[in-house]
Amino acid sequence: MSHERIRIVDAEQARREDSEHKSLPTEAVTPNKVRVKKTEGTGVEIDWKDGHHSSWSFAWLRNACPCATCHEEREKTGRALGTPKPKEKTLLVMYEAPVKPVETAPVGKYAVKFKWSDGHESGIYSWDYLRRVCQCETCRTAG
């Protein structure tokens, strides 16, 4: 029996993590309209059934990938959601094209999945996840 995934946290962190996992109302996590602006290369916009509007740049979404590998890397390094990985210090800075989706596909009725230009494709962005990481001013100040 392995105990590798057991973590000991203080009471404050336990309360914070519990609040992050509370269910949101159905209207808050049900999109009314989803716009993936792949041609423009700008990002994703969602109008939610509760009237809220959310938008994210593709770069932010890639850096907030919810897959286990990316989540564990962010947790280990302390990197915030949507924040890019630090670049290696080199003498010559090489140009790196902005990451963008090369493919986008719905996942059932609960999520969207991207195949990114950097080859990564294991993240499934559920509607619940996207609503919880909304970047609008109201949500950022409430969180």
List the pLDDT tens digit at each of the 143 positions of the chain.
445 556 676 776 666 666 566 889 999 999 999 999 999 999 999 999 999 999 999 999 999 999 999 999 999 999 999 999 888 887 787 788 889 999 999 999 999 999 999 999 999 999 999 999 999 999 888 76
Residue 114 lies in a domain: yes
Phi first, then psi, for residue 31 (nearest 5°) are -70, 140
Residue 114 in 3-state DSSP?
strand
Domain count, the chain: 1
Instruction: Give the CATH number, domain containing residue 119.
Output: 3.30.2020.30
Within a domain: 21: no
Q: 115-118: which pairs have CB atoms within 8 A and are 24 or more residues apart?
A: 116/62, 118/62
| pTM greater than the 0.95 cutoff | no
Find how far residue 63's CA is from the centre of its chain.
7
> Is there a domain that residue 22 lies in?
no
Query: Is residue 121 a contact partner of residue 106, using CB atoms and an 8 Å limit?
Result: no
Q: Which domain holds residue 117?
A: 27-142
Q: Is residue 84 assigned to a domain?
A: yes
CB 29 within 8 A of CB 127: yes
The residues near 47 (Cβ < 8 Å, ≥ 6 apart) are 31, 32, 33, 53
Is residue 60 in some structural domain? yes
